[in-house]
Structure 1
Amino acid sequence: MEPAKKLQVFIKSPDLGIPTRALAVDPGLTFRRLKLSVLSRAARLHETLALESFYFSSGGKALLDSSTVSGSGILPLSTLTLRLRISGGGGDGGATGAESRDCYLNMYAVKKPDKVDPNETRLTKWTTCALSFEPLAPPCVVDRLGNVFNKERLVEALLGKKLPKEFSHIRGLKDMIPVHLSEIPGSEKSGTRFQCPITGQEFNGKYGFIVLRGCGHVLSSKALKEVKSSACLVCHREFSDSDKMVLNGTAEEVKALRERMEEERGKLRERKEKKEKKLDTRLSGTKHLADEKGRLPVHGKQEGTVKKFKAVDIAPAHATKEVYASIFTSSRKSDFKETYSCRSLPLGRN
């Protein structure tokens, strides 16, 4: 079955300070899931605001959370605005207790049971692109901190220099590791599309997953733990412990990955500097001239000797050496003056 075509829309939220940006969404996506994707990036709001405190509107009309994008009649290139619900107020023009933003946020701080469902947040993190919030669709890549992206969206942001500050560690294609995600057959309509090819565990955040940087295959931590092998369980390519990288890891795991990334970059930078320094030394050394004893200075040291060229040393067999040498230079000194036309006939003899 051919997957549904993505719908291009614009999303903004003046209340959250989110500028207008383009987004390709699945027509079957509910506004609740779309809202969760947008709010999951603003982690600071999770502790103070409830998911139900926001709603989408289009053309001044409120959109139900349970409705789908296609079911609401949203046209391509429409603008969806994420609004903050305003409650209370006596209608008499008096105070509402929300004259400032801080007061307004404190009003919702007491709504502990209505916070964003952590299960939905986890599922969104593992099933959507970390940059565009679109459902993961091959080709996919991961960065050196274990975030998963749709490659096309990441490359577009990198070329357009529109990467958010949190992804500033991605500097080029070398920081993208292509990955192979094993798709679950018939999973187009379910929330999870990928699984471990060995254990069958779903790629939904309930289980740990690891990518092998050498081959790019994504396996569950359980598979690598139960099957002791130094080769990939899919392609049988050899790997070391340094090739294993945790996906969507905890804060401690991300910190360890960041330290390893900085260490690898430091070693690469050191090798590059040594190579450039060696090249500069070769090009900017003293002039290679032999001294009186025929020694050649190399990088400030006398190494080896330079033998002067003599034509007689390469004279053909049965050839008179003096005659052969006269081809290249005058081999016999004479007091006679020579003309430009004939060096062998002195003045007075022609």
Structure 2
Amino acid sequence: MDLQVFIRSPNHQTLTLTLEPTQSLTLHHLKSSLLPNPQSLSSFYFTLNGKPLPDSTLLPNRQITHLSTLFLLPRLSAGGGDGGATGAESRDCYLKMYAVKKPDKVDPNEQRLGKWLNCALSNEPLREPCVIDKLGNIFNKEALVEALLGKKLPKEFRHIKGLKDMINIKLSMIPGNESDAADGARFQCPISGLEFNGKYKFFALKNCGHVVSAKALKEVKSSACLVCHKEFVECDKVVINGSEEEVAALREMMEEGKAKTVKEKKKRGIDVVDGEKGCGKLEANGKLENGKGLGNGGVKKFRAADVAPANATKEVYASIFTSSKKSDFKETFTCRSLPIGRN
């Protein structure tokens, strides 16, 4: 399969690069083909998801995958009056100054795009099927399931224990060529047409999975999904890539849901007759019989004589169980001693 990569030039134009499986080239060669002036090559560099890439990076590789977006950015050079050379420095000063290479600053716009256009786990471009967790992080389902089965989830995603913690979502593709969309976005709101690129707030509806913009839900007030018309309530809305406050609210809701589930499981594990008033006695076949006067909170104490087999003497049957009758015998797990006068 051919590798297709989108390239954003400094003048905000989007170019499409297609490589056959047998082809390979470095970012330096790619930069040479894009910039006509060879002297300006050192003045530009490529970035991916806000991180700079060296010119020796080879295409294709595991980091730059199919449908990735590379940004070609100019380097900022200092001009006069920036505290540069004064004529008093020696060559050693410059060597010491540049011995440790300072990392390039991360572009916040690229960070935003990477968060909305790529999987939060694998950093690969989003492709269906996609899911979100209960905190609004968006993933490629295949990558998340593989990490879950291999027990390789990072610490920030350890709250995902299984499929029950994933919400399947349905993203609406932008019609036509994806590279024509602003900022490289490939998805949009099916109602308002707003692009899924982090500039606008989006919600996923848990009951049906459709992803729509907050603007659409605000302008068209309805208790049903605007796409499939399935009814939903306010707690069914999960904000995608929300703010710190919104994520904190979702986390609190998630913890409350876990506590409620644990409480319900404990409740189902308690005997239904425990503590109930007017419950009947427990028969030998396990059924309840209407009766009164049960002690200890409504549960009758088990007696062996009450469940003696047919044609059996109750006293003899009960004597099999040492706890059914008090006696003068002193018994341990290894022997039984008889009272004085009977040995």
Alignment-mate amino acid for residue 298 of structure 2: K
**2:105 is paired with a residue of what secondary structure?**
coil
> Could you tell me which residue of structure 2 aligns to residue 333 of structure 1?
none
Q: Is the aligned partner of 1:267 residue 2:279? A: no
Which of 230, 239, 250 pairs up with 1:257? 250
- TM superposition shift of 1:295: 4.9
Contact 2:171–2:211 (CA<8 Å) still a contact in 1? yes
**1:178 is paired with a residue of what secondary structure?**
strand
Unpaired stretches in structure 1, ≥5 consecutive residues: 8-26, 41-50, 76-89, 304-327, 330-350
Query: Residues 195-247 of structure 1, C-alpha deviation per residue, up to 9 Å, x if partnerless?
Result: 00000000001111001111110000000000010000011111111111100
Distance in 2 (alpha carbons) for counterparts of 1:148 and 1:34: 26
Which of 288, 298, 301 pairs up with 2:283? 288
Q: Is the aligned partner of 1:117 residue 2:107? A: yes
Distance in 2 (alpha carbons) for counterparts of 1:241 and 1:29: 50
Distance in 1 (alpha carbons) for counterparts of 2:214 and 2:25: 32
> Could you tell me which residue of structure 1 aligns to residue 328 of structure 2?
none
Which of 170, 180, 184 pairs up with 1:180? 170
> Could you tell me which residue of structure 1 aligns to residue 218 of structure 2?
225
Q: Is the aligned partner of 1:277 residue 2:280? A: no
Unpaired stretches in structure 2, ≥5 consecutive residues: 6-23, 31-43, 66-89, 276-280, 301-309, 312-343
Distance in 2 (alpha carbons) for counterparts of 1:34 and 1:131: 22
Which of 115, 138, 141 pairs up with 2:128? 138
Alignment-mate amino acid for residue 127 of structure 1: L
**1:301 is paired with a residue of what secondary structure?**
coil
Q: Structure 1 residues 299, 212: CA separation in 2 closer, same or farther (over 3 Å shift)?
A: farther
Alignment-mate amino acid for residue 262 of structure 1: E
Equivalenced residue count is 230
Which of 198, 201, 207 pairs up with 2:191? 198
Contact 1:288–1:298 (CA<8 Å) still a contact in 2? no
**1:199 is paired with a residue of what secondary structure?**
coil
Query: Residues 286-314 of structure 1, C-alpha deviation per residue, up to 9 Å, x if partnerless?
Result: 96369xxx9585985389xxxxxxxxxxx
Distance in 2 (alpha carbons) for counterparts of 1:4 and 1:274: 57
- TM superposition shift of 1:188: 3.6
- TM superposition shift of 1:277: 2.4
- TM superposition shift of 1:97: 6.0
> Could you tell me which residue of structure 1 aligns to residue 143 of structure 2?
153
Distance in 2 (alpha carbons) for counterparts of 1:235 and 1:278: 43
Contact 1:211–1:219 (CA<8 Å) still a contact in 2? yes
Contact 2:274–2:297 (CA<8 Å) still a contact in 1? no
Distance in 2 (alpha carbons) for counterparts of 1:192 and 1:301: 65
- TM superposition shift of 1:118: 1.2
Contact 2:136–2:238 (CA<8 Å) still a contact in 1? yes
Contact 2:273–2:298 (CA<8 Å) still a contact in 1? no
Which of 207, 213, 227 pairs up with 2:200? 207
> Could you tell me which residue of structure 2 aligns to residue 301 of structure 1?
298
TM-score (norm 2): 0.56
> Could you tell me which residue of structure 2 aligns to residue 129 of structure 1?
119
Query: Residues 281-338 of structure 1, C-alpha deviation per residue, up to 9 Å, x if partnerless?
Result: 69xxx96369xxx9585985389xxxxxxxxxxxxxxxxxxxxxxxx99xxxxxxxxx
Distance in 1 (alpha carbons) for counterparts of 2:25 and 2:188: 22
TM-score (norm 1): 0.55
* Identity score, percent: 51
- TM superposition shift of 1:116: 1.6
